[in-house]
Structure 1
Amino acid sequence: MAEQELDRNELPELKPRMIPSAELMPEVVQHIQGLYTAAFRGGVPPGTITLMHLRISQINGCSFCVASGSREALDRKETPERVYSVAAWREAPYYTNAERAALALAEAVTRIADRPDPVSDEVWNEARKYYDEKGMSALLIAIAITNVFNRFNVPLKTVAGTMPASDQ
């Protein structure tokens, strides 16, 4: 089946609500980015953090972060199957048990207001099977910072593909 060419004239014109915070307050965003970068030094495989970033961004509906997270994952040599299936990771055979535990933790922390015990002992203990305290800290920092990025970009309606991935 031939790939259908996208008619750019058929796409809606999307405009952000304002100049990105990264441009208005670069020092703040640099500090936030520094925390995210530190999470990558916590002993968790970078691919796991990148997949969590992508999944959290899907949950929060951040098209900018989904696009940049997908690009980052592919740049990190993740397979297309792993990138495209992360929304359905429970049913997909592409993820290790450690990655599944990290993704479950990421979902629970992201959906913290959805239930009385948002991060159940079951979810927490499953993650602890694979990650020591430093690794758990790295996971939690990465989860929190991705949620911060999403909460900047969603209300601003930051358009996917408009900034380099490193400027999330």
Structure 2
Amino acid sequence: MQARMTNPAEILPDATKGIQNIYKAIGQSGTDGKVLELVHLRASQINGCSPCVFGGIKSALRSGETDERLHQVAAWRDSDLSTDAERAALEMAEAATRLADNPTSVSDEIWAAAAAQFSEKELSAIVLMIALTNLFNRINTTIRVPAGATW
């Protein structure tokens, strides 16, 4: 399969600059990189974005994540391999990604669980990572970027 078009962020390079600035801010937040990789992977799984799942797994492995844990991200609720902080972040990623399924989006309970595990700076990075992932997912699925492609 071939993409319908070149990635819009490549056609409009100022978009890439903006995305890179958000990534830079996320990286400077002090948030555990593994948590960020997990929320990226889970949102991408939900959205069916094969390039983001592929790239997310590669990136998570480079960050020291294990195959065993990555194989259980889709079923994190049934896994004993996630920390309480990771569970809170994954639940937030799911709620924020499945907006059409839940009109209240991230409930007060989900937010409170995450806020109990992360500082406001870390929560900011997690929220931005979820939002960026959803942006990437929507671009990739709209233009039909094939699995294995990365930005």
Q: Which runs of 4+ in 1 moved over 3 A?
A: none
2:140 aligns with: 153
In structure 1, the partner of 2:31 is 44
Which of 37, 53, 56 in structure 1 is aligned with 2:43? 56
The CA distance in 1 between the partners of 2:121 and 2:21, in whole Å, is 17
Is 1:80 aligned to residue 64 of structure 2? no
Partner-residue secondary structure (3-state), 2:70: helix
**Superposed displacement of residue 162, structure 1:** 2.6
Matched residue type, 1:151: R
Residue 129 of structure 1 aligns to a residue whose secondary structure is helix
Question: 2:131 is matched with which residue?
Answer: 144
Larger radius of gyration: 1
Give the match for residue 7 of structure 1: none
- 1:123 is the counterpart of 2:110: yes
Secondary structure, in 3 states, of the residue corresponding to 1:77? coil
2:149 paired with 1:162: yes
Q: Tell me what 1:5 maps to.
A: none
How many angstroms apart in 1 are the aligned matches of 2:89 and 2:110? 9
On the 8 A contact 2:95/2:102 being kept in 1, the answer is no
Structure 1 spans left out of the alignment, 5+ residues: 1-13
1:35 aligns with 2:22: yes
TM-score under structure 1 normalisation?
A: 0.85
Deviations 1:134-167 (A, max 9, x none): 111111111111111111111111112233xxx2
CA contact (8 A) 2:97 2:130 kept: yes
Is 2:50–2:148's contact at 8 Å kept on the other side of the alignment?
no
- 1:70 is the counterpart of 2:82: no
For 1:160, the aligned partner's letter is A
Distance, in Å, in 1 between the alignment partners of 2:82 and 2:129 is: 19
Is the contact made by 1:21 and 1:29 (CA closer than 8 Å) also made in structure 2? no
1:26-79 deviation per Cα after TM superposition (whole angstroms, max 9, x unaligned): 221231132123212222100100111000000011001000001101111100
Unaligned runs of 5+ in 2: none
1:112 aligned residue: 99
Q: CA RMSD in A?
A: 1.2
Aligned length: 151
Report the Cα distance in structure 2 between the residues aligned to 1:117 and 1:38, rounded to whole angstroms: 27
Distance 1:128 1:33 in 2: 26
Once the two structures are TM-superposed, the CA of residue 96 in structure 1 deviates from its matched residue by: 0.4
